[in-house]
């Protein structure tokens, strides 16, 4: 298959990111000044992400779908929604990297090129209507992520995290690829629509090959969003990774996995959703329960946010259980709002530098740095799901969809675990506002802890959307339209 210019035009956002990644790798070596390299790479990566988002956002939800590469790629409102969201996460993660790239002695050109390539794979996965292109997109993301996790080579914990992530990721990729092979063996195709037709004709429950293929495909995609029991990599990877990388994995990577799961569930299992719905119900319930309970015992903020992201993956899956467009749109809304409140929480960890990685570093934060404490309070309240923050709207729409489907036990579990996570997050609030600082506060302490402008901008955007998403959610999520 030789791609035409029309086919390539469908992948303009991805081509922009890839081109900028190559330009960074080739051009950075010509700049001798280290600070100029850092500044130039950040600006270039942000510009590429913003341009990609603007191009992807041109397509309205009501626009006709465009198909290319012999039906393997589709550009529709669903894919463009996730592309814009991935580009937004890439932009904020790039801005949050400004300070830590220098302090962690990371090569900026290679680092930002890997971020761009990972985002490219995520966008490709969001547009895939064939299991092979979906696999290629997710693997490009995963391979880039392995290197990103271990990019601080002088830190043993980073190397350990990268090795664990690689081993578990390879196993999950093998499961997913074996599921694709079984689906091809049973249906003679890797195209989602053709597989859906075969599923409708024979039925998943009556064909053991299709049943096993469904389980394996679900397992491979569950790893990408760190859903239980495929979550073991996340806490170690987030803790050992460069903090902006952990923020990127916790948001953009999860969004890409949700985009893939949504298209697979709505296309392949549209005619017979019972089996896949049962799988998603189990994954959602386990993720919410395990993520919420284990987060209680965490004393490292990055591990706490890792288990938080596992629980949130479970909440996001609630919308897909019904197999309806309304449920998928609820999950899209959840993903949109989740990205910004999570990036905001990680942004505060980054702004506090090393002290922000342990809970002790938050003791008396309101006394030492009241503005930073106020931002963290906002993001923690949103992650908890307390109104009028975006987190409340996100949880409300997915739990409401579960209730509409008559899954009352699952809805009760989701609400009960929200109470558990309230304890987890509010414990940090107590440390910030009701405890004295471990060290004496100098009058000049604020002048010595200036946050870089790029990080302030990222935190401001995250805070704005967290607030607006809770008060006027329709403004931000009206374009979340399922395929």
* Residue-level pLDDT at 35: 66
| Mean local confidence (pLDDT), 382-387 | 93
* Residue-level pLDDT at 476: 67
For residue range 9-53, list pLDDT tens digits in order.
889 999 999 999 999 988 766 665 566 777 889 999 999 999 999
* Residue-level pLDDT at 6: 79
Q: What angle do CA 107, 109, 110 make, to 5 degrees?
A: 70
Task: Give the least confident one: 200-204, 230-234, 404-408.
Answer: 200-204
Among 172, 145, 140, 180, smallest CA distance to 161 is for 145
Question: Distance of alpha carbon 302 from its chain centroid, rounded?
Answer: 15
Q: Tell me, yes or no, if the pTM score tops 0.85.
A: yes
* Residue-level pLDDT at 444: 45
* Residue-level pLDDT at 271: 63
156/160 Cα distance (integer angstroms):
6
Q: What is the mean pLDDT of the chain?
A: 88
Of these ranges, 201-210, 347-356, 376-385, the one predicted with the greatest mean pLDDT is 376-385
* Residue-level pLDDT at 446: 46
* Helix intervals (H) in 225-272: 233-240, 243-248, 254-267
Strands (E), 8-139: 66-68, 73-75
Q: In the structure, what pLDDT confidence band is assigned to residue 233 with cuts at 50, 70 and 90? A: very high
Q: In the structure, what pLDDT confidence band is assigned to residue 447 with cuts at 50, 70 and 90? A: very low
Question: What are the residues whose beta carbons fall under 8 Å from the beta carbon of 230, sequence distance 6 or more?
Answer: 168, 172, 219, 222, 223
Helix (H, G, I), strand (E, B) or coil at 68: strand
Partners of 314 in beta bridges = none
Burial state string for 408-426 with b = 16 or more CB within 10 A and e = fewer than 16: eebbebbeebbebbbebbe
pLDDT over threshold 60, residue 441: no
pLDDT over threshold 80, residue 374: yes
Among 47, 49, 54, 74, smallest CA distance to 63 is for 74
Percent of the chain having pLDDT more than 70?
A: 92
* Residue-level pLDDT at 95: 94
pLDDT over threshold 70, residue 204: no
38/442 Cα distance (integer angstroms):
32
463/378 Cα distance (integer angstroms):
7
For residue range 75-93, list pLDDT tens digits in order.
988 999 999 999 999 999 9
Percent of the chain having pLDDT more than 90?
A: 63
DSSP state of 251: I
* Residue-level pLDDT at 242: 87
| Mean local confidence (pLDDT), 115-143 | 95
Q: In the structure, what pLDDT confidence band is assigned to residue 437 with cuts at 50, 70 and 90? A: confident
Are 266 and 482 in contact by the 8 Å Cβ rule? The answer is: yes
Please provide the distance, in angstroms rounded to a whole number, between the alpha carbons at the two ends of the chain: 26
């Amino acid at each position: 298959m030789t791609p035409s210019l029309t086919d390539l035009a469908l992948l303009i956002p991805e081509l922009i990111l890839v081109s900028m990644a190559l330009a960074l790798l080739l051009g950075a070596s010509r700049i001798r000044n280290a600070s100029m390299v850092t500044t130039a790479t950040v600006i270039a990566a942000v510009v590429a992400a913003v341009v990609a988002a603007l191009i992807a956002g041109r397509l309205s939800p009501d626009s006709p779908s465009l198909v290319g590469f012999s039906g393997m790629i589709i550009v529709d409102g669903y894919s463009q929604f996730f592309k814009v969201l991935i580009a937004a996460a890439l932009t904020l993660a790039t801005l949050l990297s400004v300070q830590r790239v220098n302090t962690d002695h990371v090569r900026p050109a290679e680092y930002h090129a890997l971020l761009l390539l990972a985002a490219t794979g995520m966008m490709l996965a969001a547009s895939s209507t064939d299991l092979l292109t979906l696999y290629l997109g997710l693997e490009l993301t995963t391979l880039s992520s392995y290197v990103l996790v271990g990019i601080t080579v002088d830190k043993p914990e980073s190397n350990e995290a990268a090795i664990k992530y690689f081993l578990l990721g390879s196993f999950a990729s093998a499961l997913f690829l074996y599921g694709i092979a079984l689906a091809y063996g049973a249906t003679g195709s890797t195209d989602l629509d053709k597989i859906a037709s075969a599923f409708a004709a024979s039925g998943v429950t009556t064909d053991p090959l299709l049943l096993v293929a469904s389980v394996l495909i679900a397992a491979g995609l569950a790893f990408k969003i760190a859903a239980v029991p495929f979550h073991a990599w996340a806490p170690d990877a987030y803790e050992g990774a460069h903090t902006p990388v952990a923020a990127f994995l916790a948001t953009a990577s999860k969004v890409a996995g949700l985009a893939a799961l949504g298209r697979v569930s709505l296309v392949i299992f549209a005619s017979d959703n019972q089996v896949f719905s049962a799988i998603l119900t189990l994954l959602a319930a386990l993720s919410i329960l395990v993520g919420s309970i284990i987060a209680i015992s965490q004393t490292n903020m990055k591990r706490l946010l890792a288990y938080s992201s596992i629980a949130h993956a479970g909440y996001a899956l609630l919308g897909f259980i019904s197999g309806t467009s309304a449920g998928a749109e609820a999950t899209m809304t959840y993903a949109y709002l989740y990205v910004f409140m999570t990036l905001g929480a990680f942004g505060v960890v980054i702004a506090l530098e090393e002290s922000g990685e342990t809970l002790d570093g938050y003791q008396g934060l309101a006394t030492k740095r009241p503005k930073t404490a106020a931002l963290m309070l906002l993001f923690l309240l949103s992650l908890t799901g307390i109104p009028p923050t975006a987190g409340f709207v996100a949880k409300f729409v997915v739990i409401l969809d579960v209730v509409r489907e008559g899954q009352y036990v699952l809805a009760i579990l989701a609400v009960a675990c929200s109470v558990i996570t309230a304890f987890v997050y509010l414990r940090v609030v107590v440390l910030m506002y009701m405890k004295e600082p471990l060290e004496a506060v100098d009058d000049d302490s604020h002048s010595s802890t200036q946050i870089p402008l790029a990080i302030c901008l990222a935190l401001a955007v995250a805070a704005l959307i967290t607030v607006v998403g809770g008060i006027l959610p329709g403004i931000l999520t009206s374009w979340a339209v399922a395929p």
